[in-house]
Chains A and B, each alone.
Chain A
Amino acid sequence: MDVIEVIRISRDSLMGNRVRSFLTMLGVVIGVASVIMLVSIGEGARSYIGRELGNLGTNILIVVPGKTSAKGGFHPPAATTIRKLVYDDALIIKKRSRHIQDAVPLILGTSKIKYLNQSKDNSVAGVTEMYFEIRNLSVESGRFISPSDVDSGRKVCILGRTVKKDLFGDKNALGALVAIGDGKYRVIGVMEKKGVTLGIDFDDIVFIPTTAAQELFDTDSLFNITVKVRSATEIEAAKEDIRQILMKRHANREDFTIMSQDEMVAVMGKILNIMTAVLAGIAAISLLVGGIGIMNIMLVSVRERTREIGIRKALGAKNRDILLQFLIESVTLSLIGGTGGILFAGLLSFVIPYFVEFLPTHLALWSIVVAFLFSAAVGIFFGVYPARKASLYEPIKALRYE
């Protein structure tokens, strides 16, 4: 049997019903395109988060007050109060563990910040000198907070780009005195543009020494301790060190949580995986519906061409010749539809980032391959029944069919 000729027969038949063939393919196009698109959005989001967290430094542990479990499960409410984390906790962690490069006590709050007649409410972060290095931050002009600034609780501040622009416009801010809360702070630096990372706008933060923040917010309770571990292999050891040290200081109770940034990435990755799978599954349903469309139209086509089948059989066509003819037709429909869907998805994932900035897309090769194979499988699966039906027509009945 001449396969090229059978393909030609299928092509002629599909071309003979252009609108019908197009509409049938459209179902597959939409199915394949949505599978690829949703996977590409999921993949894009994952690589975006990975990149952003990389931007925020590596080998970082964050210690927060209170016990929460990253593994889930139910914890009865603690009967006693949670001891807060304080400045000395950070110092001692750093001093006692050899796995830890640095530990920054972080205080976070909101305060009114004012220069001349410009004022705004702004996030203020109390940090120590190492914070900038840990978080990959750098100044555009001026300098960071120094160890002596922290030791003496000196009232100095470093402005994020946005804050600087809001208060000073294009004027030079270095050396100026701004009012934060009740105190006067000297501007010693302006941050380089960092942008929004995981929803935190690093350009809209004012950094002051932790010691100054204690006074500003009148608290010694830390928002967290940001810990830099010496290397990736020491993360678990560092975690254990921190646990031991803090438990000793907290009356042997583990009333704090140590999170590693990599764990957070892993958890987010897991969530994204599930989300992507669910969305792709929903999209796959539309591909299935497209397949049913193919089966439907093939059944119509078989019925319409009963007489043709009869003639071909009378001229010597075997059952499998007829089967092949109709199967190739449905597979052609689904493969052209699949290719169209891939092109459409490629176009969308190219165009979408221009219109929706927060929606990064990453066209995954595996999703293209899978969607294409799946569409071929749909063509075969939904083509077999009509094609088989056609091939089993009795020649004499098919010939008499009007």
Chain B
Amino acid sequence: MISLRNIRKSYVLPKVTVDVLRGIDMEVAEKDFVAIMGPSGSGKSTLLHIIGCLDRPTSGQYLLLGVDVSSKTDNELAEIRSRKIGFVFQSFNLLPKLIAWKNVELPLLYAGVDADTRKKKAFEMLEKLGLSHRAEHYPSELSGGEQQRVAIARALINDPAIILADEPTGNLDSRSGKEIIEIFKGLNKEGVTIVVVTHEKDIAEEAGKIITIRDGVCQSGCY
């Protein structure tokens, strides 16, 4: 369902051009649970952003669910993010001024769902993640693990085809981190495709497949 062909990404800085990705070829099949590994600066986050349509490759072809994404406009990409993709970030990226369920409903707001349905689905999703008692709390009142579970609820609310997680356990203690990985495994069993970027080996080993990136090229596991 994800197919990358010779994906390159360079940043043009005033003095030098940095090639972050130097020709990545990669396949992710439906219902896969893939971990992308690699040292810092290897380009794995950039790769995830490109997969998530938050960023565009400098060159190469990217087919998402059979659709060529590279020619899409900004708004079409926003539409794809809204319908197909759920993000989970290392630093949670919850809006601090919104209570938990308001954070969770955001993707539905931008997908044009009405207010009653948004609220109902947000509470259902929080319940699924065992957080219904925290629905009216602000992110600052939640523990790191809870915040990340709210973020997962938000990622899941619009029934995305793929969950993309960028170091989802990076800001958590090991116990909370385990919990998050267990959640991902459960979701994967339900049929959600998951791509996780991590540099923790034991987390990556929970995934069905490991892709290793080094210096912007694929080292192993890309097919």
Known: A16-B97, A319-B75. A314 touches B81 (CB 8 A): yes
List the one stretch of B33-41, B110-118, B181-189 in contact with chain A: B110-118
The reply to whether B81 and A315 contact each other, CB–CB distance below 8 Å, is yes
Q: Taking the complex as formed, is B198 at the interface, i.e. its CB lies under 8 A from any CB of chain A? A: no
The reply to whether A311 and B110 contact each other, CB–CB distance below 8 Å, is no
Chain B residues numbered 39-61 whose CB sits less than 8 Å from any CB in chain A: 49, 52, 54-55
The reply to whether B115 and A395 contact each other, CB–CB distance below 8 Å, is no
Q: Taking the complex as formed, is B142 at the interface, i.e. its CB lies under 8 A from any CB of chain A? A: no
List the one stretch of A1-9, A62-70, A351-359 in contact with chain B: A1-9
Total residues of chain B contacting the partner, CB 8 A: 26
CB-CB nearest in chain B for A392: B74
Write out the residue numbers on chain A whose beta carbons fall within 8 Å of the beta carbon of B54.
Answer: 313-314, 395-396, 399
Q: Within the assembled complex, what's the spacing in Å between the Cα atoms of A58 and B51?
A: 85
Q: Taking the complex as formed, is A317 at the interface, i.e. its CB lies under 8 A from any CB of chain B? A: yes
Q: Taking the complex as formed, is A192 at the interface, i.e. its CB lies under 8 A from any CB of chain B? A: no
The reply to whether B93 and A314 contact each other, CB–CB distance below 8 Å, is yes
The reply to whether B110 and A321 contact each other, CB–CB distance below 8 Å, is yes
The reply to whether A316 and B81 contact each other, CB–CB distance below 8 Å, is yes
CB distance from B137 to the nearest CB of A (A): 16
Chain B residues numbered 174-207 whose CB sits less than 8 Å from any CB in chain A: none
The reply to whether A315 and B106 contact each other, CB–CB distance below 8 Å, is yes
Q: Within the assembled complex, what's the spacing in Å between the Cα atoms of A198 and B83?
A: 75
The reply to whether A308 and B95 contact each other, CB–CB distance below 8 Å, is yes
With contacts defined as CB atoms under 8 Å apart, how many contacts are there between chain A and chain B in the complex?
65
Q: Taking the complex as formed, is A12 at the interface, i.e. its CB lies under 8 A from any CB of chain B? A: yes
Q: Taking the complex as formed, is B216 at the interface, i.e. its CB lies under 8 A from any CB of chain A? A: no
Chain A residues numbered 362-399 whose CB sits less than 8 Å from any CB in chain B: 394-396, 399
The reply to whether A312 and B49 contact each other, CB–CB distance below 8 Å, is no
Write out the residue numbers on chain B whose beta carbons fall within 8 Å of the beta carbon of A12.
Answer: 97
Q: Within the assembled complex, what's the spacing in Å between the Cα atoms of A288 and B62?
A: 49
CB-CB nearest in chain A for B81: A316
* The one of A307, A318, A394 that contacts B75, using a Cβ cutoff of 8 Å: A318
Q: Taking the complex as formed, is B87 at the interface, i.e. its CB lies under 8 A from any CB of chain A? A: yes
Q: Within the assembled complex, what's the spacing in Å between the Cα atoms of A395 and B111?
A: 17
The reply to whether A312 and B110 contact each other, CB–CB distance below 8 Å, is yes
Q: Within the assembled complex, what's the spacing in Å between the Cα atoms of A317 and B111?
A: 8
Write out the residue numbers on chain B whose beta carbons fall within 8 Å of the beta carbon of A13.
Answer: 97
When each residue 311-352 of chain A gets 1 if its CB lies under 8 Å from chain B and 0 otherwise, what string results? 111111111110000000000000000000000000000000
Q: Within the assembled complex, what's the spacing in Å between the Cα atoms of A309 and B74?
A: 14
Q: Within the assembled complex, what's the spacing in Å between the Cα atoms of A1 and B108?
A: 10
When each residue 1-45 of chain A gets 1 if its CB lies under 8 Å from chain B and 0 otherwise, what string results? 110110000001100100000000000000000000000000000
Q: Within the assembled complex, what's the spacing in Å between the Cα atoms of A317 and B79?
A: 8
Interface centre among B79, B82, B83, B115 (most CB of A within 10 A): B82
The reply to whether B97 and A315 contact each other, CB–CB distance below 8 Å, is no
CB distance from A401 to the nearest CB of B (A): 12
CB distance from B101 to the nearest CB of A (A): 13
The reply to whether B78 and A2 contact each other, CB–CB distance below 8 Å, is no
CB distance from B47 to the nearest CB of A (A): 12
The reply to whether B115 and A312 contact each other, CB–CB distance below 8 Å, is no
Write out the residue numbers on chain B whose beta carbons fall within 8 Å of the beta carbon of A312.
Answer: 106, 110
Q: Within the assembled complex, what's the spacing in Å between the Cα atoms of A307 and B55?
A: 16
CB-CB nearest in chain A for B166: A399
Q: Within the assembled complex, what's the spacing in Å between the Cα atoms of A310 and B78?
A: 11
CB-CB nearest in chain A for B50: A396
Chain B residues numbered 95-113 whose CB sits less than 8 Å from any CB in chain A: 95, 97, 106-107, 109-112
When each residue 284-325 of chain A gets 1 if its CB lies under 8 Å from chain B and 0 otherwise, what string results? 000000000000000000000001101111111111110000
The 8 closest A-B pairs by CB, nearest first: A316-B82, A316-B110, A318-B78, A396-B55, A315-B107, A317-B110, A396-B54, A318-B75
Known: A12-B97, A315-B87. 11 other contacts (CB 8 A): A1-B109, A2-B114, A4-B115, A311-B93, A313-B81, A314-B52, A315-B82, A316-B82, A316-B107, A319-B74, A394-B55
Interface residues of A (CB under 8 A from B): 1-2, 4-5, 12-13, 16, 307-308, 310-321, 394-396, 399
